[in-house]
Amino acid sequence: MTMFNNNGAVSAAKNWQSINWKRANCEVIKLQVRIAKATKQGRWNKVKSLQWLLTHSYYAKCLAVKRVVTNQGKRTPGVDGIVLKSAKEKYQMILSLNRRNYKPQPLRRIYIPKAGGKKHRPLGIPTMKDRSMQALHTLALNPVAETLADRYSYGFRLKRSTADAIERIYGSINRKADPQWILEGDIKGCFDNISHEWLIENVVTDKVILRKWLKAGYVEKAELFPTNDGTPQGGIISPILANAVLDKLELILDKEFGSTANRSSRVPFHARKLVHSNGVKLCRYADDFIVTGTSKTLLEERVKPLIESFLKIRGLELSTEKTIITHTTKGFNFLGQNVRRYLLRNGGSKLLIKPSKENVRNFLKSIRSAIKEMSSDKQELLIRRLNPMITGWANYHKHVVSTETFKHVDYQIWIALWKWAARRHPNKNRHWISARYFHMNGDINRDFSCIVYDDDSKARNIVLARAQNLKIRRHTVIHPKANPFDKEYEAYYENRKSESMHHNKAGRDMLNRLRITQKGVCPECNETLSVRGKKGVIHYRKSRLNGGQLNLQNLILLHNTCHKHVMDRITANKLLPVSAKSALT
C-alpha cells in the first residue's frame, strides 16, 4: 500500500517545505476511518494492526510534528530546553520518531493558577519529541476513543463542546415531569490518581509506549520524582486517557436504573414514565459530571455508592467537599453557567441557564487587569487587546440566557475604560474626554473607538466590541451517537457544518460565493436555491473522510432534500444522474 511506503514518501519530500499536507491528511483520515470501523465491529486484532500501520506511517508522523509546532505550547520547552524553530529541525524530528529504542524523558513540572487565582494546578511539560510521539499515537487512539465513548460525554472530544453539555442538561431537567435533584460530581485529583495498571490493561494502544510515558517521572527544582499513579496534565494524549478511564459510567447507570437517554415525544407518556421511573441521567464533561434523580435519597444511597465503586477500580475517588446533592430550585454551577429553576408567582416554574456570577466576576477581573496593564498604551492597542477577550467570552455564553448579563458586562467595561481615559488626562473635563475617546454611534450610544491609518493612508475606524451586540442563538445539541470517523454520520456532519456556517460571517461569505459560482442553481435538481433563510446545505465533492478539504473547490451547495438523496445514493453505491454526476466527481 503506497500510503505506508515511508521510503517513497521521504524521497518525495526532501524537507519540511515540500511535504504534501493534503495527501498526509487524506492518507491518515482514511486509516482512522478503518480503525473506527474495526472497533465498531469488535475486531481488536484488526484494530491493533491498523494502529501499528498508522503509528509507523510517514504522513502520520508529519501531522504529529505539525500539531506540536503549531499549537499554543510550541515555544514551551521540556526538560531538555529544546524548541523546534527551523524547518530543518522540524523535518529531523519527523525522521526521529521511531518506536525502536524510544525512551521518553521526565516531564518538566510547572504550576498554573486555577480559576480564581488562589490555588495552582500542576502541569507536566514533555519534551518536543515526547509530545510528537504522543500526538502520533493520539491519531491512532482517537478513532477507538470516539467509537467507545459514552454518548453523553462532551469534554476533550472531536466536534463536541461545552454548549452540547449545557443543552444536554437543559433537555434532562427542563420539563415539569423531569427529575429535579442533581448530584454534582467532582473527582479528587483525577489526572494525578488514575491507576497505571488499569490504563495499561484497558486502553487500546501500544502498551509498551504507554507504560514508558506513565513511568517517565517528572523534574521539579532539579530533582527527579517517580510517577506511580496518574497521567500528567499537559500531555497531548492525557485528556484521551482520562476520558477512557471514565467511559462506561453511563453503561453502569443504564444497567442499574434504565436508559439515561432523553425522553422522546413519539413514545407514549406511560411508556416513558416506566423507562425513566428513577430519572437517572448522566452528563459528563471531562472529569466534571452531573447525575439527575427523582429524589435526594436515590442519589445519595444508590447512585453515589455505584459511582464510587466504579471509580475505585480505576484508582479514583469523589471529592467529599465538592460532590454535593442539590435541588434545581437552589441551582448549581456547571462549566461557567448557572442552572436554576425559578418559581413563578402563578405557582409554576421556569428553568433558566445564565452565566454564573463567578464566571462574570473572573471575566471582568481579567478585563480590568488588561486595562490597568495598558494604562500608557495607545487606544488602538487597547481595543485590539480587549476585542478578542470580549467576543470570545460572549460567544461562549451566547447559547444561554445572557442578554441582561451582556448589558451588565458592557456597562462595567465602560466604567473601567472611562477611568482609564480620565487617569490619562487629569486636567481635562468629561466633555473633552468623551469627545476624545467615545464617539457617537447613531443618536444615543457612544462607542470606545479611534481612527487609524493603513499603509496606504486610508482612514479606518476601530471600535471596541460590545457583548450585547452579539445575537443570542440556541445551540443544537449533537446526536449522542455521532462519530466523526463513521461514514454513517457523514451526511449528519455536513448538515451540522452547514448550520454553523449560516450563523457566522465567514461561513455566510463562503456560502454566498458558492451560490454565485453555481449561478444560484442546485446542481442536483437544476432549480433555484432559496434567496431567503437557509441557502442550502454544503456537500463535499471529495468526502471529508477521504481527505476532502473545506474549501470552495471541494464544496457544492444543494437543497436539503437533494443533499439527502445524493448521500443515500452514495451510501448505496448507485450511479448518479447526469445532472449531478459532473458536480459530485
C-alpha cell at 396: 461562549
Model's pTM, two decimal places?
0.87
Structural domain range at position 135:
12-148+205-210
What average pLDDT score do residues 229-248 get? 90
State yes or no: pLDDT of 272 exceeds 70. no
pLDDT digits (tens, 9 = 90+) for 241-267: 999 999 999 999 999 987 655 444 344
Sheet strand arrangement including 218-220 = 120-125, 107-113, 218-220, 223-225
CATH number for the domain including 346? Answer: 3.30.70.270
Alpha-carbon distance of 264 to 276, in angstroms, equals: 11
**Do 136 and 162 share a domain, yes or no?**
no
The residue among 26, 66, 159 whose CA lies nearest residue 545 is 26
Q: How confident is the model at residue 15 (pLDDT cuts 50, 70, 90)?
A: confident
Alpha-carbon distance of 516 to 501, in angstroms, equals: 16
**Do 443 and 491 share a domain, yes or no?**
no
Q: What is the pLDDT of residue 356?
A: 96
Lowest mean pLDDT among 161-170, 290-299, 548-557: 548-557
The residue among 427, 477, 448 whose CA lies nearest residue 160 is 477
Query: Cell match 437543559: residue?
Result: 170
Q: What is the pLDDT of residue 4?
A: 44
Q: Which residues lie closer than 8 Å to 224 by C-beta, 6 or more apart?
A: 106, 217, 218
**Do 334 and 438 share a domain, yes or no?**
no
Q: What angle do CA 461, 463, 468 make, to 5 degrees?
A: 150
Q: What is the pLDDT of residue 567?
A: 86
Which of 418, 436, 469 corresponds to the end of one domain? 469
Residue 187 phi/psi, 5-degree rounding, is: -90, 130
Rounded mean pLDDT of the chain?
88
**Do 414 and 338 share a domain, yes or no?**
no
200: in domain: no
475: in domain: no
Which of 420, 436, 469 corresponds to the end of one domain? 469
Query: Cell match 530543518: residue?
Result: 88
What is the share, in percent, of the chain residues with pLDDT greater than 90? 64
5: in domain: no
Lowest mean pLDDT among 179-193, 265-279, 431-445: 265-279
Contact assessment for residue 60 and residue 54, using Cβ atoms and an 8 Å cutoff: yes
**Do 106 and 188 share a domain, yes or no?**
no
Distance of CA 521 to the CA centre of its chain: 35
**Do 379 and 447 share a domain, yes or no?**
yes
Alpha-carbon distance of 267 to 400, in angstroms, equals: 28
Which of 327, 354, 381 corresponds to the end of one domain? 354
3: in domain: no
DSSP output for 149-207:
S-TTB-TT-TT--HHHHHHHHHHHH-STTS--EEEEEEBTTHHHH--HHHHHHHS-S-H
**Do 279 and 299 share a domain, yes or no?**
yes
161: in domain: yes
Sheet strand arrangement including 324-327 = 281-285, 288-293, 181-186, 324-327
Residue 279 phi/psi, 5-degree rounding, is: 65, 25
DSSP output for 191-217:
HHH--HHHHHHHS-S-HHHHHHHHT--
Distance of CA 129 to the CA centre of its chain: 25
Lowest mean pLDDT among 206-215, 259-268, 452-461: 259-268
**Do 156 and 290 share a domain, yes or no?**
yes
SS3 132: helix
How many domains in the chain? 4
C-alpha cell at 410: 458592557
267: in domain: no
Q: How confident is the model at residue 222 (pLDDT cuts 50, 70, 90)?
A: confident
**Do 295 and 169 share a domain, yes or no?**
yes
584: in domain: no
pLDDT digits (tens, 9 = 90+) for 58-116: 999 999 999 999 988 889 999 999 999 999 999 999 999 999 989 999 999 988 887 65
**Do 332 and 295 share a domain, yes or no?**
yes
Q: 227: how many CB neighbours lie within 10 A of its CB?
A: 18
More confident residue, 101 or 276: 101
Q: 133: how many CB neighbours lie within 10 A of its CB?
A: 29
Helix H or strand E segment including 497: helix 490-501
pLDDT digits (tens, 9 = 90+) for 142-172: 999 999 999 999 999 999 999 999 999 999 9
pLDDT digits (tens, 9 = 90+) for 308-367: 999 999 999 998 888 999 999 999 999 999 999 999 988 889 999 999 999 999 999 999
**Do 329 and 318 share a domain, yes or no?**
yes
Q: Which residues lie closer than 8 Å to 424 by C-beta, 6 or more apart?
A: 375, 376
State yes or no: pLDDT of 504 exceeds 60. yes
Q: What is the pLDDT of residue 353?
A: 96
Considering 116-130, 211-225, 325-339, the range whose residues carry the highest mean pLDDT is 325-339
**Do 392 and 433 share a domain, yes or no?**
yes
265: in domain: no
What average pLDDT score do residues 455-473 get? 87
